[in-house]
Amino acid sequence: MILAGGREFKIEKEDLSVDYAFSSLPDSSAVLVQVTIRNVSDTPLRVGKVDLIEIQDVSEPVYYNNWQSWFPFKAYWEQPLVEPLVQFADSQGISLLAATPVPEVLREGFRPSDYFIATDELLVGFVSNEFSHQYFLWNDESSSIKGVADLFGTRLLPGESIELETMAIYGSNTLWEMLEEYADLINKKNSVEFREFEGIGWCSWYHYFTEITFEELSKNVRLLAEIREREKIDYRLVQLDDGYQEDIGDWLQTNSKFPELKEIASEIKREGFMAGLWIAPFSASETSRLFNEHRNWFVRNDDESPKVAYRNWGKRIFALDSTNPEALTYLKNLIKSIRDSGFDYLKIDFLFAGAIPGRRFDESVSPVEAYRTGMQMIRDAAGEDCFILGCGAPLLPSVGFVDGMRIGSDTAPHWNGEPMDIGVPSARFCLRNAYTRSFMHRRLWLNDPDTIILRDCDLTEDEKRIFALSVGLLDGMMLNSDDMARVDKNGIELLREAISLRGGEPRVFLDGMNGVFAACTRKASQSNVISFVNLTDTPRHSIKLKEMYRDWSGVVPSVDEVELPCRSIWIQKRRSTT
């Protein structure tokens, strides 16, 4: 790299001075970049978007990361199209805020890669996300990448400066090694700690959706206890998802299908399971008690009207303003009340709502800072002995606050391989992200690839097998979501096979293919593996077994090449010696 240790320089931008300091990272190919922005004018300034870096001679593919859980991390061979997404959102009345906190960038025809961007030879990314929103823009015509920080109108007095979050630039090694090093650096800089997820879990969502009842929940608790005893499957968690609450935002009031929260938790714990509950703590619907009784607790438009964060459940959904002291106290009391009811696992969803831009009680605070304030309150109120799973969450600013993180879209009881790739429920795209974001696992948090589905449904047997075995070999959190009365012996055996692949250290060898992946594991509890997965509808022929797969896994392949049918997985195992 031409950027050597200890170099500094300054760029004057009208009323701003942008100072750069470069340093090398010991035992790494990384160069760290510290940027300081100073107001050199005689008047106070509001600082918005600041161009920080431009990289020339970029080669394809370019790997884009979206800011939140549901959206893709994937390779592009040409600049991603934005117009279809914007037109679809506008035609359906869908807010773009789920896709980005800077929707104006989408409307200008550019899709940002949030927090980091990569090619096969280069990775540029921020090490933390505390107040600005950081993103990168690729221009395939000029073969360049531009890095930007949006400070959302942060006020700087004359002579005042602000130090931005540290940026890291990697320019050697393989893509997967750069991704792993980058995640290790984030882990170190943010002093990441997380609770372990023990055993197997069950979630109500992907069978019952909002139609779950207390009777069906109780039935499944009983069946899971029987399966645990009979089949020796280590079920430990029962998590109730959406469908129990009176309204979105009214989390402590149950609807007519359920008793109060304490009785629900007691029913789950009676059979020795950890009790889990789904909430969307920064969201409240237009019909909720919370919103109608406390409208001043929510993020506002410039005209002081409450700002719509997104639409779902056939309603407008508003975002809690965690800079409002009363709203923050409410958030603390909400989490404490749920914990006091007996729940020790929280799935907190639609978290991006807490980070949308808009007017807040404390207008000196950026959306990112507001989000982190809310997340810190949730973490503190829940306590260290509560497992927190993030979902629909801004990724980098969530580091350190969650134990597990959904890293893809919702799965579904159908493959749904051809929808617009914008975070819609899809087993295929959900699984794609499990592979592409596997480097985050056990570095930033425990990856949640979403639930396995074992019952007879619209997924074929091969599709269910791909998903289940991928979850196992990628070592993510493992839950299934079924009416357990409909799970037969074959379903239990598939779950058992997936469990046998857990406990290893996975590496995914990304190569620009968004639907075909090579993944290997080492140091596994039972078996190390070399595997190939094909998520596409096109067979792949003569896939070479490369030496690096053997070097990582210790598995000596019995063949030189693999034929990989569409929607299939190939695995070769070797008994682990660890």
DSSP code of residue 273? P
What the block records as the tokens of 291 is: 């919103």
Beta strand 116-118 with 446-448 is unpaired
19 is catalytic: no
d(CA 555, CA 513): 23
DSSP letters, 46-88, are EEEEEEEEEE-S--S-EEEE-SBTTS-EEEESSPPP-HHHHHH
Judge contact between 437 and 456, C-beta under 8 A: no
Options 349, 403, 448, 482, the catalytic residue:
349
d(CA 103, CA 107): 6
Beta strand 387-390 with 404-406 is parallel
DSSP letters, 310-376, are EEETTEEEEEB-TTSHHHHHHHHHHHHHHHHTT--EEEE--GGGGG--SB-SSTTS-HHHHHHHHHH
Give every CB contact of residue 382 below 8 A, 6+ residues apart in sequence. Answer: 335, 339, 346, 388
Judge contact between 231 and 492, C-beta under 8 A: yes
User: 506: cis peptide before it, omega within 30°?
Assistant: no
Q: Residue 100 belongs to what H/E stretch?
A: none
340 is catalytic: no
Closest CA to 389 of 484, 476, 494: 476
d(CA 64, CA 530): 26
CA 472 to chain centre: 18
Neighbours of 575 (CB within 10 A): 10
Per the DSSP assignment, residues forming a β-bridge with 53 are 147
> Cα dist. 544→306, 426, 529 in Å?
56, 29, 15
Q: What are phi and psi of 496, to 5 degrees?
A: -65, -40
Judge contact between 389 and 405, C-beta under 8 A: yes
d(CA 556, CA 539): 24
d(CA 80, CA 62): 10
Judge contact between 470 and 437, C-beta under 8 A: no
CA 274 to chain centre: 23
Neighbours of 166 (CB within 10 A): 17
d(CA 436, CA 407): 9
What the block records as the tokens of 541 is: 């022929």
**H helices, E strands: number in the chain:** 13, 32
Options 247, 410, 475, 482, the catalytic residue:
410
DSSP code of residue 17? E
Show which residues are catalytic.
Answer: 349, 410
